[in-house]
Amino acid sequence: MPELYIGLMSGTSMDGIDAVVASFDKEHVEISGSLRRAYPDTLRRALFNAVATPIDQTIDNIGALDRQVGECFRDAARALLESTGIAAADIRAIGSHGQTIRHQPDAVAPYSLQIGNPAIIAAGTGVSTVADFRSADIAAGGQGAPLVPPFHHWLFGHSQIDRLILNIGGIANLTVLRADGSPVVGFDTGPGNALLDRWVQARKKRPFDQGGAWAASGQCIETLLEDMLTFPYFDLAPPKSTGLEDFNLEWLAQFNPERFAAVDVQATLAELTARTVVDGVRKTAPGATELYVCGGGAHNVDLLERLARKLPEMKVGTTSMVGLDPDWVEAVAFAWLAMRTVHNEPGNLPSVTGASSKVVLGEIHSPSK
């Protein structure tokens, strides 16, 4: 029987936890169950505040959030087991990404901090839990991100087609899979949903722009777009990664968006996401013919239409077209990475992160006996 793994993921949008049970053979993945659980509103607000005001966070506050997030991840895993009828004893391991609250790979003392105490997950489920996937790559000189491209390569790589996988969460990241077997390229292109979500929350009191409908009703402000595109991150060559430290409402405020109609700012932010993705495609994969989107952005009709218009020579769709529901790609990826860790196999790609070598990722937390 194939080994079963649970993958737990919460991204920079911080809208909740994706949980899957998955098994793997040499070329395929099978999902035995999946669910999504939202964070409690008070916790989500506290997490947003922790990300937005890092200098104001106390050790006690971070410690409390670490425990609360760990309990939410534990409860998601428990609910998944209950909904599937799978016994904890039948799960080889849980792979928990945790919740990123700070990502500083280019600091003088590089680090990336994910909270969500894995010992609580292991103790509360009875299943060994792999967590802290980024630290080993950073210790080897890498960015610690993005970590999903090795999984993309394993599942979506094609021997005859240059293919791109685009994950649009709070941040957008692109994986370049070339048919000739050359090293995989993967990097964060810039904002995905982060600015779109925060602007609509601030202006319309909605959690997000459903389908991108509000953005689609506005007009791109070209002067604002060109000003935003001068941000140095966009001109960096891979390997590179970013986060909410760079792209947030404070970053947007420097461009005085209040000068313009709010709906047109939303349209411009959508164009910024699409433009920076396409710029990344043009620079790193000019010969690619297929682009498949996963993550929450796969449901943003306006974003997908913008990408299709800018890439008329390419087939643009979601990863459902190549065998995996776009909502579960990242959670499955962390189940896959947990499998790699359990079998003492490397989980990073130096061509993606810039690490000096391939390394085994994560730490394994065993449940109490």
Using the predicted structure, report yes or no on whether residue 369 has a pLDDT greater than 70: no
pLDDT in tens, 133-178: 999 999 999 999 999 999 999 999 999 999 999 999 999 999 999 9
pLDDT in tens, 106-139: 999 999 999 999 999 999 999 999 999 999 999 9
pLDDT higher at 368 or 248:
248
- One domain, residues 158 and 306: yes
28 alpha carbon, distance to own chain's centre: 21
CA distances from 224 to 172, 233, 264 (A): 20, 17, 10
pTM of the complete model: 0.96
pLDDT higher at 15 or 97:
97
- One domain, residues 27 and 117: yes
Report how far residue 359's alpha carbon sits from residue 150's, in angstroms, rounded to the nearest whole number: 12
Instruction: With residue 187 as reference, give the H or E element that holds it.
Output: strand 185-191
- One domain, residues 40 and 61: yes
Mean pLDDT of 2-20: 94
* CATH code (residue 284): 3.30.420.40
- One domain, residues 275 and 332: no
- One domain, residues 251 and 138: no
Range of the domain at 265: 149-322
Using the predicted structure, report yes or no on whether residue 10 has a pLDDT greater than 90: yes
265-276 in b/e form (b: 16+ CB < 10 A) is bbbbbbbbbbbb
Domains identified in the chain, total number: 2
- One domain, residues 240 and 226: yes
- One domain, residues 353 and 273: no
Cβ-contact 25, 48 below 8 angstroms: no
Mean pLDDT of 237-262: 96
